[in-house]
Amino acid sequence: MTDPEAGAVARRALPLLDLTDLGETCTETKIDALCRDARSGGVAAICVWPRFVTQGARALRGTGIRIATVINFPDGGEDCARATDDTAEALRDGADEIDLVLPYRALLRGDAATARDMVEAVRDTCGAAILKVILETGELADPARIREAGRLALEAGADFLKTSTGKSPVSATPEAAEAMLAEIRACRRPAGLKISGGVRSVADAGTYLDLADRIMGAGWVGPKTFRLGASSLFGALMQAREF
């Protein structure tokens, strides 16, 4: 990728970024730094642990940068009541977007109802907030199964499908993204895609942007339909956008 090509990808990708810190050693100081970076980069959102939602919402008030947090993360458990309680608390604290891990192990053992029930319950709790459902595509593995999970999540009310927690051995892949985009295209209402985990270079971002353009058409990609969940990518994008 030439410098001008990288610059074009970076300028396109930065407004789509969910700037993320879901590290085990995250601190209030790191959240302050994340919010400063979010402002300087003009990103779509920050994505943080629930305990940092209030801090992020306060720091970014009035900027238009949204606050996302994770629920049922990263294990994708099956405690629906806890997921809805945690969602309600996050929304009270100022979250605009909820990234919910699908109970993918239930789906793998043939129990689609448990997975569907959680998405529907959290959807009901979210109200006007955006609901992104994390499929954990590296664990689902098979494109047909990824499509099944994506279809279930969309039918249950997801606004976005998201690839991964970033905590599994295999995170986002173009093959998984293609399967998810096929379900989004087939959906009878608008829905979006979030690529998360394993996006480490400007070229990686370009690969996923090109894929979305090819499947969904020119003009589809925007902050309301496409996000990149990454933290290590931010510096590279900021540097490349100057070319």
Residues serving a catalytic function are 99, 162, 194
Kindly give, in sequence order, each residue whose CB lies less than 8 Å from that of residue 72, ignoring residues fewer than 6 positions away: 79, 82, 83, 86, 100, 101, 103, 118
Q: What are phi and psi of 28, to 5 degrees?
A: -60, -35
Q: Which residue has the tokens 């900021």?
A: 238
End-to-end CA distance of the chain: 12
d(CA 194, CA 131): 11
Q: What are phi and psi of 188, to 5 degrees?
A: -85, 10
